[in-house]
Amino acid sequence: MSASIDLVEVLFTLFWLFFIGLILYLHRESKREGYPLQSDRTSRTGRVQVQGFPGVPPAKSFTTAHGDTVSVPRTEPHDAQIAAKPAAGYPGAPLVPTGNPMLDGVGPGAYSERSNSPDKTLHGENRIVPMRVATDFVVMANDPDPRGMAVIGADGAVAGTVADVWVDRAEPLIVFFEVDLGASHGGKHVLLPIGFSKINGTKRQINVRSIYSTQFADVPALASPDEITLREEDKIMGYYGGGTLYADAARQEPLI
């Protein structure tokens, strides 16, 4: 009996080999962010790094539209001290804050060390800016203008007034309210994310449930009054996010 080659079977086998290889390639490429994982376990050489299979791919560099170079995977500062301690002695135990968790980046207040430069539009302009800079933006006549509204904290007290509105030039929408804390805080201005705000146009006020009026003074400040960096965005969001749990000790207790 003469040997023969079944072309259909060969093609079917090649397809499955290609498909398996594609899955492994995509899974490996997905590890360019967040890997290798830092485990609580330690060995003779230090803390165990978890990569899984396949391992982390070699670094690859990309050039952005504005000429910057980004390499991934990138080296992460793994030796950073976290202001928290494990609640128990087993690996993966929840962390208990030891400082101010709303500023220390713990739990819902966590933030990443993103680039300390502003996000840009395709035209090279700063993407998120106040309306005093984006003069071509206006508040629609049939919408309440937030400027001048009182900002009310979770305690029902006034924290300040809205001095300006920060907009996203890339997709026209409001991102932050700029809050003037008044003379008692030296005229300090802080940003309030619109996602943590509830506007009451009738009463001309903006209500915030995540933090109290006295905690607005500690909102991370901007290095430049008309510019916000990616890292500053994360820190501000983390502060209000952390307040949902840590603004009051009672919030950390079970509801029942």
Rounded to an integer, the average pLDDT of 45-58 is 81
Instruction: Give the tens place of pLDDT for each residue, 159-203.
Output: 999 999 999 999 889 999 999 999 988 889 999 999 999 999 999
Q: 128-252 architecture in CATH? A: Alpha-Beta Complex (3.90)
Question: What value does the mean pLDDT of the chain take?
Answer: 88
Q: HEC string of 206-239? A: EECCCCCHHHHHHCCCCCECCECCHHHHHHHHHH
CA 96 to chain CA centroid, nearest Å? 21
Specify the domain boundaries for CATH 4.10.540.10 within the chain: 1-77
What CATH number should be reported for the domain whose range is 1-77? 4.10.540.10
Q: How far is Cα 121 from Cα 136, in angstroms, rounded to an integer?
A: 15
What Å distances lie between residue 114 and 76, 134, 229, 231, CA to CA? Answer: 11, 24, 9, 5
Please, where in the chain does CATH 3.90.50.10 lie? 128-252
Q: What pLDDT band is residue 116 in, cutting at 50, 70 and 90?
A: confident
Q: Which two tokens stand for residue 129?
A: 């800016």
- Identity at 20, one-letter amino acid code: I
**How much is the pLDDT for 214?**
94
Amino acid in the structure at residue 232: E
The C-alpha angle 108, 172, 181, rounded to 5 degrees, equals 55
Half-sphere exposure in the Cβ direction for 66 (13 Å, CA): 12
Question: How far is residue 148's CA from residue 134's CA, in Å, rounded to a whole number?
Answer: 18
